[in-house]
Chain A
Amino acid sequence: MPARVAMQQISKIYPNGVVANHKVDFAVEKGEIHALVGENGAGKSTLMKLLYGLEQPTHGAIFLEGRRVEIANPQRAIHLGIGMVHQNFMLAPSFTIAENVVLGNEPRKGRLVDHKRAIAITAALSAKFGLQVDPTARIEATPVGMRQRAEILKTLFRGADLLILDEPTAVLTPQETDELFWAVRNLVDQGKTVIFITHKLGEVKEIADRVTVMRHGEVAGRVATREVTEADLARMMVGRAVLLSSYARPAVRGKVVAAVHNLGCIDETGRPVLRNVTFAVHAGEILGVAGVEGNGQSELVEVMAGLRAVATGEIRINGKAVQGASVREMRANGVAHIPEDRLANGVALDASIAENLVVDRYHRPPFTRYGVLWPRSVRQHATALMQQFDIRGAGPGASLRSLSGGNQQKVVAAREFSAAPVLLIAAQPTRGVDIGATEFVHGQLLAKRNAGAAVLLVSADLSEVLRLADRIVVMVKGEIAGILENGPQLTEETLGVYMLGRNRPTP
């Protein structure tokens, strides 16, 4: 039987000369769950864009069930039974789930949308595929897991029998992930085929039948998942052995560096986003902050960095009350901050590398002396940091935009790690970062901790928090649901229970 999808000798060369795919062979059998893994820039996104008709291959051919096809646009892809569930959901927030599912193909009664039938259609699809949703609920009022199911139903309603799921678990709790996996298996049982894009190797082992690993735009391997270990997959992705185990933790907890007491915060719309938050970060400790995204972690980071006003409570750094201080005052007190959205907040793309590396320190000697800025000092500083942190670029004067994504991330890391912080706030420090750079960032965080700095690590990646943190704060709806000692007994499942807010904190 011919493969459901066969992409043969696919090459994609962008007009600027970047080779995103080079002679890629990719095949998915009907009725299988096929994982597609690879580091950032490995070319898996490009490959899927070609399959979904968003881009056209430079060379090569695509076959569906043995028939050669040209997929000129997503409409054509949908017509061919290919559906894609994007990571950023494409749903109208103020519409109900049923309205979103039928959007563009609404059942009609005369000239009007037949809402009853829309709800019936959605309910029937939902029951058939075991994707539980409330058809009458508005998207904006539903949790992320249900939105994702609505998105899957939308593609199924359009007749997709090949589903591309783009990092579907990135936004889910472990429990929601389990529910999703159950639903995906159910889809396959009913004859659907699933391509599952992920970088979590544990998930590949758990859900996929086969896996294609990409590296540098080429296929590094295609294997049945039961025949390989996670370490094998990591080696295929990176091209060398990678340490995936827990790091040893010599817990030499020192004095309290940052103390947060009864912190409260209100966002721009007047909604309380932090309530009664109390915790302390000690010297020589990594305090992890876990939680489903949007539960106050980002706001906590902004408050600690001086970017957001405090409504109530206090923050002390080395005993000094600093709530309400400006960013510059916070930084003068020894706070460094790796921001969550590094490309939006952590760099200026059109400024030079050297300029990007001094934004927190340009006003101090040796950069500014006698009120004058000395470009030579700025350049020398950049040259040193580029060497120390292995930032590969044309030179300190090159624009940040000219760097690769990984090197742009390194610029942020180099600046913040070199600031000699007493408190280092790292928000999602490895998001969008490949395995090699993740190792590097983790190593630096541990080195800072071992050198006696306090580290506040906020991450949606539970395995990261469990691997690095000495203690873990779980946040739910702006409050602390629990503070847990990390250790071998602590699992993602336990954290997940706290993250869902089902376990109230014990005093």
Chain B
Amino acid sequence: MVHIKNHKALIEASRAVLVVMIALVIGFVITALVSKEPVRAYAALLTGPLPKVSFAHGVEITNLNRFGNWLEESTTLILLGLAVSLVFGARQFSLGAEGQLLLGALAAAAVAVKMPAPFPLHLLLALGAAGIVGFLWGLIPGLLKAYLAVDEIVCTLMLNVIALQLFDLVLLNWLRDPGASFLGTASFPASVVPPLLIPGTRVSWMLIVMVAAVLGVWFLMARTPFGYALKMVGANRKFAEYGGINARRVIALSMAVSGILAGLAGAHLSLGLLKRLTVSLAPGLGFEGVVVALLARNDPRGVLVTGLFYGYLRTGAQIMERSSDVTREVVLIIQAVIILLVTAERLFPSFQQWRRTRSDGGAIAIDRGLGG
């Protein structure tokens, strides 16, 4: 049995590698079409995020900031991926991470600017505020879906719009630094900025928060009765209800808990990376969490891996854009092609399963009809 399992895992792993290779070849073909130096440009995409180690004068590490960019980017993506994986796990297609991220960042900034406190209390208060606001902003569509059967896709997309306007309203009217030449708050006090882990980068304690979040979500899903209930609601809601699980409560809570993680991602952006809050914080970033969660098949441990992968790709793409003649649009196309192929590969088994379910369903119906 174990042997067969290993065999299957091997096939799946080699297929994943093959798909990534194909994606990279297609990416290179596109690069070759638009660039005079395709090899150098493509190398920037593939190896850009790695630090360069030279041994000319002892050991010297350069380009550490790019390596840092990768980890910072991944931290945000992983937190968002965890948020999305929770709601998708309960089979709720909530797309509210974007709005929760914005309001989480806003809440953290409000605490940073308006509630002075000593370090590390100040930081903890700001993170707590981000989590609580994310929770509440997730609870709204959760309750609407669970108790009034409001479609969660429509509802969360609308709430994203509201969150964005609320963000601008509060930022511009109450938090903005009137003396600054740009639309944003003043720089945050040091008491609220998470200390750095790697000097010369912006990789901070938020990396540890992110790893803790991965472990926390894994524990929640695998080792708590709530995680079991959430999985069962996602697998078959009628079955969960038949077994005595309060599916409505589970649905509402899954969307709210997901909001905590998206809120923390927002706090990472404002406290950890910008160290202030500005308008147009991160348009569309919430949806990148969907990509990460889908690639990871909603498994929190997988989110860690796919978040790092996707973060690497995004960072490499930025470096390619900066350091070669390939334009931003083409870089985004290459990035999208790679993600499309990888997603297709990840989705392929679930698609097969879906088809099998359908034909099973048909066979069962007919079998019941004939043999029942």
Contacts and interface: CB of A to CB of B under 8 A. Distances in A.
A40 interface: yes
B371 A431 contact: no
Interface string A87-103: 11000000000000000
Interface in A321-340: 326-328, 330-331, 337, 339
A254 interface: no
B236 interface: yes
Point out which of A38, A45, A347 has the most chain B C-beta atoms below 10 A from its C-beta.
Answer: A45
Contacts of A405: 364, 367
Contacts of A344: 236, 238
A49 B244 contact: no
Interface in B227-251: 227-229, 231-232, 235-236, 238-246
B1 interface: yes
B13 interface: no
Contact of A375 (B222, B238, B353): B222
Interface in A359-381: 359-360, 362-363, 367-368, 371-375
Given A359-B232, A363-B225, A373-B227, A87 B242 contact: no
Contacts of B245: 328, 359
Interface in A181-222: 197, 199
B232 A331 contact: no
A348 B364 contact: no
Contact of A373 (B224, B236, B241, B368): B224
B242 A49 contact: no
B244 A326 contact: yes
Contacts of A343: 364
Given A45-B367, A344-B238, A351 B231 contact: yes
A140 interface: no
Interface in B323-372: 353, 357, 360, 364-372
Interface in A392-414: 394-395, 401, 405
Q: Tell me if A's interface is mostly helix, strand, loop or mixed.
A: loop
B369 A372 contact: no
Q: Tell me if B's interface is mostly helix, strand, loop or mixed.
A: helix
Contacts of B364: 343, 405
B232 A348 contact: yes
A345 B242 contact: yes
B224 A327 contact: no
Contacts of A199: 371-372
A170 interface: yes
A346 interface: yes
A307 B241 contact: yes
B45 to A, nearest CB: 37
B232 A351 contact: yes
Contacts of B52: none
Given A44-B370, A88-B369, A327-B243, A349 B224 contact: no
Nearest to A306: B244
A178 interface: no
A60 to B, nearest CB: 19
A170 B369 CA distance: 9
Contacts of B224: 371-373
Given A40-B372, A371-B225, A372-B223, A331 B244 contact: yes
Point out which of A355, A359, A362, A371 has the most chain B C-beta atoms below 10 A from its C-beta.
Answer: A359
Nearest to B240: A359
B223 A375 contact: yes
B330 to A, nearest CB: 40
Contact of A345 (B222, B228, B238): B238
Contact of A362 (B225, B365, B367, B372): B225
Contact of B369 (A166, A327, A373, A395): A166
A395 B223 contact: no
Contact of B371 (A44, A347, A372, A394): A44
B225 A431 contact: no
A485 B224 CA distance: 49
Contacts of B371: 38-42, 44-45, 197, 199, 432
Interface in A12-67: 38-42, 44-45, 48-49
B242 A337 contact: yes
A432 B363 CA distance: 13
A339 B239 CA distance: 10
Contact of A326 (B225, B246, B372): B246
A348 B372 contact: no
Contact of A432 (B232, B240, B372): B372
A348 B241 contact: no
A401 B364 CA distance: 12
A456 to B, nearest CB: 16
B1 A394 contact: yes
Contact of A348 (B223, B236, B246, B367): B236
Contacts of A49: 366
A432 B370 contact: no
Contacts of B366: 45, 49
A350 B235 contact: yes
A86 interface: yes
A41 B232 contact: no
Contacts of B236: 344, 347-351
B209 to A, nearest CB: 23
Contacts of A362: 225, 228-229
A167 interface: yes
A373 B228 contact: yes
Contacts of B240: 348, 359
Contacts of A307: 241-242
Interface in A282-341: 305-307, 326-328, 330-331, 337, 339
Contacts of A41: 367, 371
A355 B228 contact: yes
Given A348-B236, A355-B228, A372-B224, A167 B243 contact: no
Point out which of B227, B245, B246, B371 has the most chain A C-beta atoms below 10 A from its C-beta.
Answer: B371
Contacts of A42: 371
Contacts of B365: 88
A257 to B, nearest CB: 20
Contacts of A363: 225
Contact of A349 (B357, B370, B372): B357
Contacts of A347: 236, 239
Contact of B239 (A40, A197, A346): A346
A88 B340 CA distance: 42
Nearest to B227: A373
Contact of A327 (B244, B353, B360, B367): B244
Contacts of A88: 365, 369
Point out which of B1, B369, B372 has the most chain A C-beta atoms below 10 A from its C-beta.
Answer: B372
Contacts of A345: 238-239, 242
Question: Can you list the 4 inter-chain pairs with the closest CB atoms, starting with the nearest?
Answer: A359-B243, A45-B370, A328-B244, A348-B235
8 contacts: A87-B369, A166-B369, A328-B245, A328-B246, A355-B231, A362-B228, A373-B224, A431-B372
Given A38-B371, A363-B225, 4 more contacts: A44-B371, A199-B371, A199-B372, A372-B223
